[in-house]
Amino acid sequence: MSIEALYGFFAVLIGLSIGSFLNVVALRGLSGESIVFPPSKCPKCGKKLNWYTNIPVISYIFLLGKCQFCKQPISVQYPVVESANAILYLIMFLNFGVSLKTLILWAVTSIFILICITDFKEQVIIDLHTYILIGLGLLYNILKLGSISILDSILGILAGYLIFEILARIGTITVKTRAFGEGDTLIAMGLGALLGWKMLILTIFISIVIQAFFAIPVLLFRYAKNKQYLNIFALLMLIFSIISTNFIKPDYIFYFWYLGTLCTILLICLFIILRNLRNKEYGNFYYMPFGPALVISALLVIFYSKQIINLFN
């Protein structure tokens, strides 16, 4: 076995072990329990787990996804998180080798996964996780491990705050509720610290595309289920308006008139859709967490920023 393969093997083992710990940190963070005491236990029957039934991924497979004691199903979240963390650790190692950069990006990756877990499960972003992300972003650039200066890192934090808080306030003014949660603002500040303000803007754009890819089918289904045909029409017009702008050439006489009409349609459709995102009749029925989209887009920018930028050239 080559030394690189051996290092890669250890990267996977470390990723699996820390991934198992991330499940504990996320779930106990949501419940308010200590991450140290009590020891690992079954969330259903509360019995302490034996070490040999607490091996990442392997124990889940060996136990056929059921608790050793009460035989109740174990959430698939556990092996998914462990595997995802291990895979990302391996990818980081293969890209950046044995280095301080890899270690810090491992820590960033684990914070990303914590954000995804808590946002998916409870639509909650734990402030401590985002503060650590901001600190790691600053440290990453203080040590000159990235391609930006510490000034750009600080400007990235400021840009993340301003962009999301301005958007949130627009939501408050138009539909009486924040367009984004405060946790999303903190995530953006952390990504700004890590990537700088320029890459942050690109990251936000990609995250909106990712969110739309998953959100639009869900919204259409839910609108149809509840017979909200005005919302369906508004959403389809919104999509049409965005796509059609790519086929309009600036030298056309009616270009600015058409563009103005589309912008008006966009604003009307956005108002109709946002007004119903937190309809009191359905509570938070339409809410979809935005944190995971930010995390996925940040990972894409970390690995493929040059290729993504070339797509726009």
Total-model pTM: 0.83
Per the listing, tokens 């200066």 go with: 149
Check the CA dihedral 70-71-75-76 and report its sign.
Answer: positive
Tokens representing 18? 């820390």
Q: Tell me the backbone φ, ψ of residue 34, rounded to 5 degrees.
A: -70, 145
How many C-alpha atoms does 155 have within 13 Å on its Cβ side? 10
Say if residue 295's pLDDT is above 80: yes
Residue-wise pLDDT for 124-147, tens only, equals 999 999 999 999 999 999 999 988
SS3 (DSSP) at 2: coil
Task: Return the pLDDT at 304.
Answer: 85
110 falls in which pLDDT band (50, 70, 90)? very high
Per the listing, tokens 């914070």 go with: 111
Span 70-82, mean pLDDT?
Answer: 91
C-alpha span between 302 and 306 (Å, rounded): 9
Say if residue 280's pLDDT is above 60: no
Check the CA dihedral 308-201-15-27 and report its sign.
Answer: negative
SS3 (DSSP) at 66: strand
Least confident of 12-21, 29-38, 192-201, 222-231: 222-231
Task: Return the pLDDT at 177.
Answer: 66
Task: Return the pLDDT at 281.
Answer: 43
Say if residue 268's pLDDT is above 80: no
33 falls in which pLDDT band (50, 70, 90)? confident
Distances (CA, A) of 87 to 34, 194, 202, 224, 300: 27, 21, 25, 38, 15
C-alpha span between 221 and 235 (Å, rounded): 12
Check the CA dihedral 308-244-290-170 and report its sign.
Answer: positive
Task: Return the pLDDT at 285.
Answer: 42
C-alpha span between 239 and 135 (Å, rounded): 38
